[in-house]
Structure 1
Amino acid sequence: MASQVASPSASLHTTSSSTTLSTPALSPSSPSQLSPDDLELLAKLEEQNRLLETDSKSLKSVNGSRRNSGSSLVSSSSASSNLSHLEEDSWILWGRIVNEWEDVRKKKEKQVKELVRKGIPHHFRAIVWQLLCSAQSMPIKDQYSELLKMTSPCEKLIRRDIARTYPEHNFFKEKDSLGQEVLFNVMKAYSLVDREVGYCQGSAFIVGLLLMQMPEEEAFCVFVKLMQDYRLRELFKPSMAELGLCMYQFECMIQEHLPELFIHFQSQSFHTSMYASSWFLTIFLTTFPLPIATRIFDIFMSEGLEIVFRVGLALLQMNQAELMQLDMEGMLQHFQKVIPHQFDGGPDKLIQAAYQVKYNSKKMKKLEKEYTTIKTKEMEEQVEIKVSISGLKSAEYKLIKASYLAIDVRLC
């Protein structure tokens, strides 16, 4: 956990147009004020961050080692030369938040959420993601190296999907590259600690994004927390019951907020899962370019799956007119070819629209109960059908047996 070094009287203030501090904040030239754990992590990340800075918008320039960096923090002078005043203020602000995390998270939770929605600076993303999900001091991290020595029954499946995960990204596209190897390691390690889930296709995209930001041990710990605390484990279970629940809740939101589009989808037999299941399983990582998807993932780390519902409905609202004119095939093409590139200029418009969506947590809980009731009833009906079939088979068997007995009597 980050150490608390700043004055306890300092406070954080946010406005719609800017973000300021009421007292002098932590300077980016003050690495000695960071806790040893944060300092070590930032040192590991320096080489990766320097590579990513050459093309931070596309995030396609990672081509060096992410491990055993041993170098020091990026100095404030070199960073400031490449940052605007606004970006420098953001650097200072996030440095302050990291160092006062426990206090800020408890007392300024709303302000932290607002800042996350505006985007976490790349250099702080690894630490902030770990802090948001409380993964920075997990005991399971010590087991990671031992897990890699073990054999997983999922290894063949994982190897098969590695080449399909971010195939255009420099860090992952080369066969047997460092990126593919660490991705395999994290997926294998998780399959060993969670035998019920094992490995599920799609989860590798989430792990891949984590590996773009942090070393594999930290990525493993964050992924474990996401699976445990962010509903992902339920989504990736073999039954995928949680995905069914999400589809039901999302469909109900469409019916309420976009009734005409809901009717059009029904008339075309265009089921929610045909376009939205990947949104929930990969948090839009297979939908949008990485700069857009990563901003959404920032918010997911802070607020959970709610952002997927919000962004999903915002997308439908923004595309309703076009979708209403299309048949099933046309709608599929629109979701696959058009929507992914609608926000290439930046995600701000989409995120703003997402937070104009009316999302009612109590109503979502009510829908969850409804879905559970429906599924329970369906299971009971299936049991009754099986019992009836079993009864019919038993009666049929008795009839056949009686027929054979009658034949035997006649033959005697």
Structure 2
Amino acid sequence: KRCGEEGKTGDDVLLMLVLGFPGETPEIPADSAWCWIFPHPPGTMASPAVSPDSSSHEALSSVNSAPACSPTSDSENLSPDELELLAKLEEQNRLLEADSKSMRSMNGSRRNSGSSLVSSSSASSNLSHLEEDTWILWGRIVNEWDEWRKKKEKLLKELIRKGIPHHFRAIVWQLLCSATDMPVKNQYSELLKMSSPCEKLIRRDIARTYPEHEFFKGQDSLGQEVLFNVMKAYSLVDREVGYCQGSAFIVGLLLMQMPEEEAFCVFVRLMQEYRLRELFKPSMAELGLCIYQFEYMLQEQLPELNIHFRSQSFLTSMYASSWFLTLFLTTFPLPVATRVFDIFMYEGLEIVFRVGMALLQFNQAELVQLDMEGMSQYFQKVIPHQFDSCPDKLILRAFQVKYNPKKMKR
């Protein structure tokens, strides 16, 4: 639908002590399916009310039996001291997960033993210290941004792969895409006074963007109004692209983190510098290229699954188009999708290829047993919630995927 070598400092030690603390965003309940490109409402996907069948249980079991959350592949380039600190951080990560599970257990039961309360209190205390250290560290990163980008790039990348804390996402995303001082920001208020030929399409679609999220719920909600403003403004500054449905999901996520003027600037930068504009052009030639490149990876790395897909006429575009067009925002619940988006802001579209291939690796054994209809249901109802409890498992597997940028360019 269109219209250099780093020396160890106190900051380095603090960095490693808090690395791994995931940012948090609200989880959104699910709604009805739309179509194959956007099989579920944005950020929610499979309904929690759906009872997985036996294949669902097997798939979740296979994911849960994967290696525990651990540092991503770039940690191999860190020094022995940094690796030791990373290992300590993994213990902190386990505390975070244990605390989360403990709280869920307490909320789901009327009776709790005293020991469970003590355990939860202890974990929460440790978590509180970790949160404080995280605030200190990310505050320093933001204030010393140029130095971190130039002299501590490996550590910054590792931090981002572990998740940007929620309250820092707005400024960090702007810094990552160099959107903090853009001339187009001064044009925003004037653009809102103009009319766009895409207005009717935008109005029709914004009600379907994060429909269960409080910020966007209701026709007269502030969220829907600012989403309309940003989409309309962009359609005026880039008349070739105008408006494309998938882009509203990305802008919606930005608006959850920052004011509309800043969201507009970030979106302009993403379109210009992150290949998104090419994806959303009327011809969608870039999307076709991404699908072709992903098929090449599938054929090379998972030949058995590739043969099965072909035998069932299960086209790559049927399940992967929304991955590229919405950056998994219409695939995973928001807490998981936002983790992927953090990495996208630093590393670009490569993370979409990596996460997509990781999903197929995790689920190959189940998928090869299903026909086309079964696979369709599996992608919609099972895959979206496999990593709710530990997104790090997905991120870890994604960075184990073989990805050759030179081959992709060819």
Same fold (TM over 0.5): yes
Q: What letter is aligned with 2:253?
A: L
Deviations 1:218-242 (A, max 9, x none): 0000000000000000000000000
Q: In the aligned structure 2, how far is the partner of 1:83 from the partner of 1:110?
A: 25
SS at match of 1:253: helix
C-alpha contact 2:247 2:325 (8 A) present in aligned 1: yes
Task: Check whether the contact 1:13–1:19 (CA below 8 A) recurs between aligned residues.
Answer: no
What is the aligned counterpart of 1:207 among 235, 242, 251?
A: 251
Amino acid of the residue matched to residue 199 of structure 2? E
The count of corresponding residues between Structure 1 and Structure 2 is 307
Provide Cα deviations, 1:98-157, integer angstroms capped at 9, x if missing partner: 000011101111211110000000111000000000000001101000000000000000
Aligned residue among 137, 144, 165 for 2:209: 165
Query: Which residue does 1:331 correspond to in 2?
Result: 375
Q: How does 1:39-118 map to 2 (within 5 A)?
A: 56-58=25-27, 84-118=128-162
Structure 1: gaps of 5 or more residues: 1-7, 21-52, 61-79, 367-412
How far apart, in 2, do the equivalents of 1:291 and 1:111 lie? 23
Residue aligning to 1:129: 173
Aligned position for 1:255: 299
Superposition deviation, residue 84 in structure 1: 1.6
Contact map agreement 1:59 1:290 (CA 8 A) in 2: yes
State the AA in 2 paired with 1:13.
D
How far 1:10 moved relative to its partner? 5.1
8 Å Cα contact 2:25/2:334 also seen in 1: no
Distance 2:322 2:170 in 1: 24
The answer to whether structure 1 residue 312 and structure 2 residue 356 are counterparts is: yes
Secondary structure at the aligned position of 2:382 is classed as helix
Matches within 5 A, 1:229-378: 229-366=273-410
Per-residue CA deviation, residues 25-71 of structure 1 (Å, 9 max, x unaligned), is xxxxxxxxxxxxxxxxxxxxxxxxxxxx9x844279xxxxxxxxxxx
CA distance in 2, matches of 1:59, 1:87: 24
Match of 1:119 among 150, 163, 173: 163
Q: Which range is displaced more, 83-92 or 323-332? A: 83-92
CA distance in 2, matches of 1:18, 1:308: 29
What's the secondary structure of 1:172's corresponding residue?
A: coil
Residue matched to 1:217: 261
- Following TM superposition, by how much is the alpha carbon of 1:359 offset from its aligned partner in structure 2, in angstroms? 0.9
TM-score (norm 1): 0.71
In 2, the alpha carbon distance for the partners of 1:265 and 1:17 equals 43
Q: Does the CA contact (< 8 Å) of 1:280 and 1:308 recur in 2?
A: yes
Q: In 2, Cα distance between the equivalents of 1:110 and 1:260? A: 36
2:192 counterpart residue number: 148
In 2 relative to 1, CA 157–57 (structure 1 residues): closer, same or farther, beyond 3 Å? closer
**Counterpart check, 1:13 vs 2:12:** yes
- Give the counterpart letter for 2:345 in structure 1: M
Aligned-pair CA distance for 1:176? 1.5
Contact 2:354 2:398 in 1 (8 A): yes
The structure whose RCO (Cα within 8 Å, separation 6+) is larger is 2
- Taking the aligned partners of 2:390 and 2:256, their CA distance within structure 1 comes to 20
Equivalent residues in 2 for 1:182-193, closer than 5 Å:
182-193=226-237
- Whether contact under 8 Å (2:274, 2:348) holds in the other structure is yes
Superposition deviation, residue 89 in structure 1: 1.3
SS in 2 for 1:251: helix
Q: CA deviation at 1:276?
A: 0.2
Does the CA-based 8 Å contact 1:12-1:108 persist in structure 2?
A: no
Preserved CA contact (<8 Å) 1:59 1:291 = no
1:14 Cα deviation from its structure 2 partner: 7.0
Q: What is the aligned-residue RMSD (CA, Å)?
A: 2.3
> How far apart in 2 are the matches of 1:286 and 1:193?
26
CA distance in 2, matches of 1:223, 1:81: 38
Match of residue 34 from structure 2: none
How far residue 362 of structure 1 moved from its aligned partner, in angstroms, is: 1.0
* Equivalent position amino acid for 1:260 in 2: E
| Moved >4 Å (runs of 4+) | 8-12, 14-17, 80-83
1:13 Cα offset (Å): 3.1
CA distance in 2, matches of 1:174, 1:265: 40
User: Distance in 1 between the 2:392 and 2:266 partners?
Assistant: 26
Q: Larger C-alpha radius of gyration, 1 or 2? A: 1
The 8 Å contact of residues 154 and 188 in structure 1, kept in 2 or not, is answered as yes
Q: Unaligned regions of 5+ residues in structure 2, if any? A: 1-6, 30-123
Judge conservation of contact 1:135–1:221 (CA < 8 Å) in 2: yes
